[in-house]
């Protein structure tokens, strides 16, 4: 059993990890800290954390593991502060949706990437935010990607892998660059498209009518546009290179479909739609 875990940023992701660890009996004490005193108090009141600390250095003291679960845009500031107060015995990890940017921030703050830093990303979440939405089964059956650098300690990786496995997640490893490419394609670009489409429609003259006649398919398609705007702004900028690369591919392919509609190129449309249906039915079998 882990003696003490400190969670920095107790929102949906950090709070759900805390709840899951407690529910699994995986940790003796969970300490929470946050820049927002009120969120932190809510986390304590809801019994998501055992102890709250408003000072980062007090919070991380004697922790076996420190999990940075703040939004991607706040990572750099938190990591910079951690560099001044983290014991070498503590394993540091994060839950950021982009990994190259976090590793870079750690390198900048610590001078080099510490061997006991394990970059990680649990692929879970909903369009909700905040500790009130935290649940103890958020990670059950979900994937966590660990993106170590060459110097990352095997023992530190094993500790973080074990932590996630104890809350029901399936852990895999890949490079940070590869992670950022894969997530740009499956998560970051879809969010950008959903936000963009809803914004386009909300500028049309028939705005009210447009949404009035939106059926179930539209609701599913645009659900992710109800996600936290600041969080996704952070992610788009933190993963800009991979985003731009996949966006360019997508825009090029969309141009081909546009041309096919204009030229009444039946075969092209059918080919794309059939291939897409087949891929989705195969990979997202529900």
CB of 237 to its own copies, least distance (A): 6
Token pair 């070498």 is at which residue? Answer: 88
CB of 246 to its own copies, least distance (A): 8
The per-residue DSSP string of 227-261 comes to S-HHHHHHHHHHTHHHHHHHHHHHHHHHHHHHHHH
Q: How far apart are the first and last CA of the chain?
A: 36
Given candidates 88, 111, 150, 286, which one binds its own copies under the rule CB under 8 A?
286
Going from the C-alpha of 5 to that of each of 110, 155, 163, the distances in angstroms are 21, 16, 10
Sorted by sequence, the CB contacts under 8 Å of residue 233 that are 6+ apart come out as 73
CB of 21 to its own copies, least distance (A): 21
CB of 128 to its own copies, least distance (A): 12
Q: Rule CB under 8 A: is residue 264 a binding residue for its own copies?
A: yes
Q: Which is nearer to its own copies, 33 or 98 (CB)?
A: 98
Contact letters for its own copies, residues 73-112 (x by CB under 8 A): ----------------------------------------
CB of 218 to its own copies, least distance (A): 5
**CA–CA gap between residue 44 and residue 134 (Å, rounded):** 13
Q: Which is nearer to its own copies, 28 or 178 (CB)?
A: 178
Q: Rule CB under 8 A: is residue 162 a binding residue for its own copies?
A: no
Count Cβ atoms below 10 Å from residue 161 Cβ, excluding itself: 18
Q: Which is nearer to its own copies, 13 or 52 (CB)?
A: 13
Quote the tokens at residue 66: 């420190």
Given candidates 143, 159, 168, 171, which one binds its own copies under the rule CB under 8 A?
143
């Amino acid at each position: 059993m882990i003696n003490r875990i400190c969670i920095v940023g107790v929102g949906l992701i950090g709070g759900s990890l805390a709840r899951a660890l407690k529910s699994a009996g995986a940790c003796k004490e969970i300490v929470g800290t946050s820049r927002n005193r009120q969120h932190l108090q809510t986390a304590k009141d809801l019994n998501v954390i055992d102890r709250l600390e408003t000072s980062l250095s007090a919070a991380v003291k004697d922790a076996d593991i420190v999990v940075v679960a703040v939004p991607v845009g706040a990572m750099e500031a938190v990591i910079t502060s951690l560099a001044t107060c983290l014991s070498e015995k503590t394993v540091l990890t994060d839950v950021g949706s982009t990994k190259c940017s976090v590793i870079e921030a750690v390198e900048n703050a610590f001078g080099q990437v510490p061997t006991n830093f394990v970059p990680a990303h649990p692929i879970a979440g909903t369009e909700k935010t905040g500790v009130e939405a935290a649940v103890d089964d958020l990670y059950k059956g979900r994937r966590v990607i660990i993106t170590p650098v060459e110097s990352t300690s095997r023992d530190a990786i094993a500790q973080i892998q074990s932590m996630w496995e104890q809350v029901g997640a399936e852990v895999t490893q890949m490079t940070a660059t590869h992670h950022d490419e894969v997530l740009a394609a499956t998560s970051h670009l879809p969010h950008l498209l959903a936000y963009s489409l809803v914004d386009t429609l909300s500028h049309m003259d028939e705005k009210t009518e447009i949404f009035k006649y939106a059926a179930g398919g539209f609701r599913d398609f645009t659900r992710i546009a109800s996600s936290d705007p600041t969080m996704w702004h952070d992610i788009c900028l933190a993963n800009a290179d991979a985003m731009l690369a996949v966006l360019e591919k997508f825009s090029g392919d969309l141009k081909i479909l546009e041309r096919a509609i204009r030229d009444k190129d039946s075969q092209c449309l059918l080919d794309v739609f059939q291939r897409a249906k087949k891929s989705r039915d195969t990979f997202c079998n529900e």
